[in-house]
Amino acid sequence: MPRARVNGVELFYEVTGEGDPLVLVHGSWVDHYGWRMVAPRLAESYRVLVYDRRGHSRSERPPGQGTRRQDEDDLAALIEALDLAPAHVAGSSFGGSIALGLATRRPDLFRSLAAHEPPLLGLVEGDQEAQAARLRLDAVFADIRGGDHEAAARRFVEEVVSGPGEWDRVPERTRETFIANAPTFLDEQSDPAWAMVDLPRLAAGYTGPALLTTGGEGMPWFQGIVATLAKALRGARGARVVLLEGAGHVPHLTHPDAYVDTLTGFLAS
């Protein structure tokens, strides 16, 4: 199993395919396996890197409070250690937040940037749906602190990002991953800066192509976040917003063909 020690932490990773480098950054609770439905097809045209972020599954789980900036620095160090810069970088959920945060500081590492529904709730503080989501997240945190990681995972899936009944549709292996990585979710959400990104710096610093996607069946507050980001990135070369009809928060699992078509169409352009 390939591993790289970067930024003071050991990360598990896999590289497949040939071509321009494409780095896939997973969201909270999950790991590199979440890209399994799309990575093989993407690897037909690109050199695809997937990895487990710090604190997730096969990667090292360092003690103490972590920050999203550490995840950003891990991503930067991994891209450089594997000689992939500049790379196309696509992030899902919290992985999208990581990609956007890094793009504000290290745009030189990016050929392009794609993010699906980054949960940057700080960008829509006045939105009632977003405020309700924060309250539901508090209940998730309470479940984790109380040791009921499965209840926390179910609540997160059904009340925060998807909808009723969705937890039971999650494959067993993925449910097990959610439960195992619950403490890391609590840790990363305890970072005061987890829900924000420096919009002026992003707008001024990142001028490359950007793709922002949302699911037509997702939680409505994601669309407000994406609209705010799109306004900041309006000066970026080739910036675009795409609504994935019928999809939700994890289109790379539920609608893999649509996700791959959208991403590769953007990259090819």
Look up residue 38 and give its two tokens. 């799309």
Q: Quick one: average pLDDT of 226-233?
A: 92
Q: CA 129, CA 178: separation in Å to the nearest integer?
A: 24
Residues 6+ apart with CB under 8 A from 250: 27, 34, 92, 93
Q: Are 122 and 145 in contact (CB under 8 A)?
A: no
Q: CA 56, CA 204: separation in Å to the nearest integer?
A: 32
Q: Quick one: average pLDDT of 176-185?
A: 96
Q: Quick one: average pLDDT of 91-104?
A: 98
Residue 144 confidence (pLDDT) above 80: yes
Instruction: Report the pLDDT value the prediction gives residue 128, as an integer from 0 to 100.
Output: 86
Which run of H or E residues covers position 230? helix 221-232
Look up residue 146 and give its two tokens. 């109380």
Of 65-79, 122-136, 195-209, which gets the smallest average pLDDT?
A: 122-136
Q: CA 35, CA 41: separation in Å to the nearest integer?
A: 11
Kindly state the DSSP code that residue 236 receives in the 8-state scheme.
S
| Top-tier CATH class for 3-124+198-268 | alpha beta
Of 21-25, 97-101, 131-135, 235-239, which gets the smallest average pLDDT?
A: 235-239
Q: Quick one: average pLDDT of 129-138?
A: 88
Strand partners, 91: 25, 115
Residue 238 confidence (pLDDT) above 80: no
* DSSP assignment of 121-173: GGGGTT-HHHHHHHHHHHHHHHHHHTT-HHHHHHHIIIIIIS-TT-GGGS-HH
Q: Are 22 and 43 in contact (CB under 8 A)?
A: no
How much is the pTM?
Answer: 0.96
Instruction: Report the pLDDT value the prediction gives residue 8, as an integer from 0 to 100.
Output: 92
| Dihedral, 182, 188, 189, 195 alpha carbons, nearest 10 | -140
236 band by pLDDT with thresholds 50, 70 and 90: low
